[in-house]
Amino acid sequence: MEIKKVNLKEKLALVKEYWSPKILGELNNQLVKIAKFKGEFVSHKHDREDELFYVIQGELHIELENNTLHLSAGEFVIIPKGVVHKPYALEEVHIMLFEPSATLNTGNIKNDRTLTSLDKI
């Protein structure tokens, strides 16, 4: 098994579309993903999985039931399973995600943004 370092800047340059996470690696059944977000996503929840959003660059907003979280570069939040949330970004934001491998990007919602398989980069 070859162990390689990962350069986030280089990997993010390969991400061309918004709201389409890419897998960087796996750690104890958790996927390490990166993505670029811009605009609004669908309001959803994950019934069985917690989800970590780490902002690499830009600003991410996450609407919750009673408030909106504002995350800047270097900040992260863990959204517990069962919590309805709606991520959005006014400008392009670069994100790292940590999620169980079974996590569907749109959670309990199935629509045209639902991704059933993700690319590895």
Tokens of 62: 């996450």
Q: What is the count of structural domains for the chain?
A: 1
Q: Provide the whole-model pTM.
A: 0.89
* Domain of residue 16, residue span: 8-100
What lies within 8 Å, CB to CB, of 111 at 6+ separation is 42
In a domain? residue 115: no
pLDDT in tens, 31-74: 999 999 999 999 999 999 999 999 999 999 999 999 999 999 99
Give the pLDDT of residue 55: 98
Residue 108 in any domain: the answer is no
When pLDDT is cut at 50, 70 and 90, the band that residue 116 belongs to is low
Is residue 18 a part of any domain in this protein?
yes
Q: Give how far the C-alpha of residue 103 lies from the chain's centroid of Cα atoms, to the nearest Å.
A: 10
Q: If residue 91 lies in a helix (H) or strand (E), which one and from where to where? A: strand 86-100
Q: With respect to residue 41, please indicate whether it lies within any of the assigned structural domains.
A: yes
Instruction: State the Cα–Cα distance between residues 78 and 92, nearest whole angstrom.
Output: 21
pLDDT of 3 > 80? The answer is: yes
Identify whether 3 is part of a domain. no
Quote the tokens at residue 87. 């991520």
pLDDT at 66: 94
The reply to whether 82 falls in a domain is yes
For residue 82, what is the domain's CATH number? 2.60.120.10
